[in-house]
Amino acid sequence: MAVLYRIHDDTSDLASFLELCRVHWRGVVVASADEADNTCRIDCGTERLRDICQWLTDDLGFAFATLVAEQAPKNWLLIYAFYKDAKSPLVRVELKLDAALSVAPSVVDLLHGPSFDWHEREVEDLFGLHFEGHPRLGEFVLHEDWLEGINPMRRDFDANKRFEPRTTEPKWEPPTIVTAPGAFAMPIGPVFSDFAESAHFLLETVGEDVVRTIPRFFYKYRGVEKIAEGQPPDRALLLAERFSGTAAFAHGLAFCQAIEAICGIKPPPRALALRAVLAELERLRSHAAAITGICNSTALAVATSQAALIEERLLRLTCEITGHRYLFGAVVPGGVICNPSQTDCRHLTAAVGEITHELRRLLQMLRYSSSFLDRLEEVGVVTEDQALSYGLVGPIARASGVARDIRKVLPYAVYGSTDFSVPVEREGDGYARLRVLFAEAAQSAGIINKVLSSLPDGAICSDELQLRAGAALSAVEAPLGAAFHWVRLDNGGNVSRYRVTPPSFTNWHGFHLAAENFAFQDFPIILASFGLSNAECDR
């Protein structure tokens, strides 16, 4: 792994990036700029795709955000989106393929290839579009018992079609690599002994130590992207909020931002400020839940109770302010629904202050609990190089030294004008992730206070929403990391394509890096220190 950031080329604004693109790829690809979205579009053919992806990620330090596949009557459209930092534009590499071809070049063998890996596998599985050169295509979202040759995301597939329950158990036989005498693979899941989400883990072990973990997801695949098609945005919003109920506001917001971008409307200032407040309230609760999970995994009973009390307190506070414990129904295209009174704001500020204090006390006590630290330190390590090449996001990436945060990189709501910092740790172990969670929770509380102290008056929702055809990519920093929502509306104003790339999808891909060569009893701790949601990943 040589130098991952070789920043000698100027990507610092849209105009200079466009210039760079035109000089570097003269006569090879067409680059154009979209000022309104601060996006640079690069149209390229199959023969140049790999070079462009390599140039963006290895040479210029861009991170891969998402791959969107669209099926038009005459062709396939593949959109690769990249982001970098607050100054650089968003880059969209677009590739058109003949409808009859259905083959695209794979880019997974590049240095940053792993970040594309699951995207290619998903598109192959759901659309039946082949990626030439990918070593592991096949059963991914759809398990082995799914009917051969049926690709649910294709236009001609009926989302309402119901399948007969299958009685044969799917045969999941991933290639095991551990061959030492006495080696065996221990399956865990998909049903667990506790309140855990459905997923399957195969632990390859030669006794006490686990050598490698092979996870399998998508037990919870509900076809959200498919069933959103044909629905008006206000119905699709229900899906955006509910596919991952513990990050409902973040995903609802991302969806609404996409609709606003398509329809060219801007929420009023008060709405933008309240969006930041509610998003941070959700992050605070989500981080408290993750902290509860980590304490619980180390069997530290009093700390678990303390963290759980904080979590429940935040749930109640959220319910008092928004009417719902998980912020369902709080955001709409054009603004927000709930309009807290001055009394509500004072109550919120005071309560968040107390909660911050309790969190600080909890961290102090955890710091001096050596039996607790012993179980987290040097456990489940993800290095910075790994985090970069897998394109990891959120608190997990930030605990491994990658200081990326969508609130800074592609600011939305009022984050561009609000002062806050992005906590970063270097060790990449369970303890680093715990510290990042605590530090981010404190930042969230700070943002809530700052925004509430200068909350603008006025309307909370724009009433100019006129649906029209178009497409937009929107990004938010959800509690677990970067989330990208691509929405296309047809002429009737209905959703014709909805593509969600949630942080849990991105980060579960990197989980196996942290779950290598560890003592068996550490598995729950590594799992908890990742704190991801399968509902969010599986969709």
Query: According to CB under 8 A, which residues from 351 to 380 bind another protein?
Result: 364-370
- Part of the chain binding another protein (CB under 8 A), chosen from 95-103, 194-202, 431-439, 481-489: 194-202
Please, which of residues 161-180 interact with another protein by CB under 8 A? 161-163, 165-167, 169-170
Work out whether 287 is an interface residue with another protein (CB under 8 A).
no
Work out whether 277 is an interface residue with another protein (CB under 8 A).
no
Percent of the chain that is helix, strand, coil (3-state, to 5): 40, 20, 40
Residue span 62-101 as binding mask against another protein, x where in contact by CB under 8 A, dash where not: ----------------------------------------
User: 461 — phi, psi (to 5°)?
Assistant: -155, 135
The site for another protein, by CB under 8 A, has a size of 80
* Strands ordered across the beta sheet of 518-519: 184-188, 200-205, 209-216, 518-519
Please, which of residues 195-214 interact with another protein by CB under 8 A? 195-198
Distance of closest approach, residue 71 Cβ to another protein, in angstroms: 17
Cross-strand partners of 214: 202
d(CA 275, CA 323): 15
Residues 389/111, Cβ–Cβ less than 8 Å: yes
254, 272, 290, 300: which one binds another protein (CB under 8 A): 300
Residue with smaller CB distance to another protein, 50 or 222: 222
Residue with smaller CB distance to another protein, 42 or 288: 288
Q: Say what angle helices 430-453 and 269-297 make with each other, to 10 degrees.
A: 150
Work out whether 159 is an interface residue with another protein (CB under 8 A).
yes
Residue with smaller CB distance to another protein, 433 or 539: 539
d(CA 539, CA 53): 27
Query: Which tokens go with 481?
Result: 């990391």
- Part of the chain binding another protein (CB under 8 A), chosen from 12-20, 25-33, 294-302, 520-528: 294-302
Nearest Cα to Cα of residue 96 among 121, 70, 115: 70
Nearest Cα to Cα of residue 439 among 525, 378, 367, 499: 367
Residues 37/472, Cβ–Cβ less than 8 Å: yes
Residue with smaller CB distance to another protein, 306 or 494: 306
- Part of the chain binding another protein (CB under 8 A), chosen from 37-45, 108-116, 203-211, 231-239: 231-239
Work out whether 246 is an interface residue with another protein (CB under 8 A).
yes
d(CA 337, CA 274): 10
Work out whether 194 is an interface residue with another protein (CB under 8 A).
yes
CB-CB neighbours of 194 under 10 Å? 6
22, 50, 130, 325: which one binds another protein (CB under 8 A): 325
